[in-house]
Structure 1
Amino acid sequence: MTDAHPPGGPVRDAGDAWVESGDGRKYWGRFGAAGLLVHDRARGVLLQHRAGWSHFGGTWGIPGGARHQFESAVDGAVRESHEEAGVPAESIELRFDSVLDLGFWSYTTVIVEAVEPFEPVVSDPESIALAWVPLAEVETLPLHPGFADSWPGLRSQLERRVTVVVDVANVVGSRPDGWWKDRAGAAQRFVARLGRLAHEGLDAQALDLDFNRWWPAYVAVVEGQARGVHTDDDAREPGHELRAGVSVVDAAGSGDDAIVDVVRELDGAVVVVTSDRELRERVERLGATTRGAGWLTDLLDATS
């Protein structure tokens, strides 16, 4: 939540400027601002003790700052957290984001999970200190007012895990586009598209969840001649440095049975995508929610 450069320091980007509201209040970031809230299940959340010269100096918040022009909120938050705290993009996975939109200015809090342990590094003058703070102790610190306001809501969803399990045969087979001529190729193309959707995330309303956008994990279950497809997560596209969160399960026998087994082993909220009525009933009995094939194909079609 850093919101200015050091006194006398250089302006690093056109976005490094104040925006003023009609009543005279100032907000840092000509193109808005973003911060990264990193959650480590074992250690808590990564907080930044803000330098005294900054706005609300001496309080605790999250690494962040002004977005660059044309920069997405996620990219801005990841960049700022790396510059200020040495957060490695390869060690985190996206979970969800929350947006404070004032019309003329916005602040996006991007919530990620540390999936590989790392130690933060004070790498510029914007931080007095960086620390992993247990969740129960966050409110005992003098918090930045903006973070203090948002923390209760963020905390309530911080440990939520969302997984979308996809019946690939059912979804691919829902469109008569010649997929049966090359089942493996059709499944491979589908998984690649799923990876792009995983990077972009889903509008919270599509999952009946709160906040702005969520990045669920995806499990693509394939069967028969389609088995053996792979994800492209290790060869990420430019701008997609973060993990995509897509895995593939090859069904040894029945794809439906494999999906039921996957659902049975998962924790958290599970959404199964299939139009097979019997399969939907089976997974719903295990506590999963379901969506039809058209729900996912429409999302894929809207993905750039």
Structure 2
Amino acid sequence: MLLGDGDGFVRCACGHRHWGLYGAAGLLLSDPDRGVLLQRRAWWTHHGGTWALPGGAIRSGESPAQAATREAEEEAAIDPAAVRVTATSTEEHVTWRYTTVLATVGAQVRPKEVSRETAELRWVAPDDVPALRLHRDFAAAWPRLRAQLERRLVLVVDAANVVGSRPDGWWRDRAAAAVRLRDRLGALVHIDVPGSHIPVPDADDWCWRPRVLLVVEGRAAGIEPHEDVEVVAARTDGDTAIVDETRRVRTQRPRDHVVVVTADRELRERVRGEGADVLGPSTLLHLLDSQVR
């Protein structure tokens, strides 16, 4: 077999052989109606005959999310455009690392075996996964992965409060300032670098890509949504819209972790009453300044 960029075994400090010169990544794709997508490895592969995630070696210069979605396309014919990455989690083995890429289906996907490495693909209900003959490492990680399957991070941003926290001339054109913030927030959904993310309780070892809701009011209420940012125009005042959005998300998906970005003390207490956490504008802007590329 002709080896490609990144292909090859590494014997790491833990004493095991791992595939991937630059590490490896797997796609944990979930569908609310079908379960999680698992791959049974061909008999001749490393740990052949066991079930695990579609995935493989990371190429040089490739992010774990890019590697996982590329491998899923090569092995299971899954269009990367139909995959919505929500979080990544990396297991460090001193001299090697494996990243699980958590994702949901953003469009209809019909997986099929298109690689010699894939013996079978199957949607499996999460509760039924332990009954399969699992890859050793996947079996050990499954309880931790299972706990995050239905969780998402939702970031609700008080646009007026965040824009107003820096004296950069925003008052000359409030709508343009809101557009600049909107475009910068779009980069948050492409983060997969540990330490450059907004933490989620009980899952701080995951790097979350949030669903971003930007709440605007007044002169900024007419701005258009971004590809990766939803824009919510307040019908009355911004504070009420933020509380309403927080309540709506918490009602529809109780397991989602909602973080509201605002420095307004009264609003912070109101959204905490709805089950949300809060983040100051300076913390968000520092993240955008120093971590987001």
Note closer, same or farther for the CA distance 1:121–1:279 as it changes in structure 2 (3 Å cut). same
Task: Give, as a single letter, the amino acid of the residue that structure 1 aligns with 2:285.
Answer: T
Provide TM-score, normalisation by structure 2: 0.93
Tell me, in whole angstroms, the C-alpha distance in 1 between the residues paired with 2:161 and 2:223: 16
Measured after TM superposition, the shift of residue 27 of structure 1 is 1.2
Task: Give, as a single letter, the amino acid of the residue that structure 1 aligns with 2:2.
Answer: P
Q: 2:157 aligns with which of 132, 154, 166?
A: 166
- How does 1:33-48 map onto structure 2 within 5 Å? 33-48=24-39
User: Which runs of 5 or more structure 1 residues have no equivalent in the other structure?
Assistant: 1-8, 234-243
SS state at 1:248 partner = strand
Q: 2:216 aligns with which of 197, 217, 222?
A: 222
Q: Give CA deviations for 1:104-144 in whole Å, capped at 9, x if unaligned.
A: 11111101011323110111101011010011111110000
User: Which runs of 5 or more structure 2 residues have no equivalent in the other structure?
Assistant: none
Q: Which residue of 1 aligns with 2:81?
A: 90
Measured after TM superposition, the shift of residue 225 of structure 1 is 0.3
Tell me, in whole angstroms, the C-alpha distance in 1 between the residues paired with 2:82 and 2:14: 41
Measured after TM superposition, the shift of residue 19 of structure 1 is 1.1
Aligned residue pairs total 284
Q: Which residue of 2 aligns with 1:280?
A: 268
Task: Give, as a single letter, the amino acid of the residue that structure 2 aligns with 1:259.
Answer: I
Q: 1:145 aligns with which of 136, 142, 151?
A: 136
Q: Is residue 130 of structure 1 aligned with residue 121 of structure 2?
A: yes
Tell me, in whole angstroms, the C-alpha distance in 1 between the residues paired with 2:230 and 2:144: 30
Q: Which residue of 2 aligns with 1:4?
A: none
Tell me, in whole angstroms, the C-alpha distance in 1 between the residues paired with 2:157 and 2:31: 27
Q: Is residue 206 of structure 1 aligned with residue 194 of structure 2?
A: no
Superposition RMSD on alpha carbons, in Å? 1.6
Tell me which moved more, 32-41 or 113-122: 113-122
8 Å Cα contact 2:13-2:95 kept in structure 1: no
Provide TM-score, normalisation by structure 1: 0.89
Q: Which residue of 2 aligns with 1:295?
A: 283
Tell me, in whole angstroms, the C-alpha distance in 2 between the residues paired with 1:212 and 1:260: 27
SS state at 2:10 partner = strand
Note closer, same or farther for the CA distance 1:48–1:23 as it changes in structure 2 (3 Å cut). closer
- How does 1:201-280 map onto structure 2 within 5 Å? 203=195, 206-208=199-201, 209-233=203-227, 244=228, 246-266=229-249, 267=253, 268-280=256-268
Off by >4 Å, runs of 4+ in structure 1: none
Task: Give, as a single letter, the amino acid of the residue that structure 1 aligns with 2:199.
Answer: A
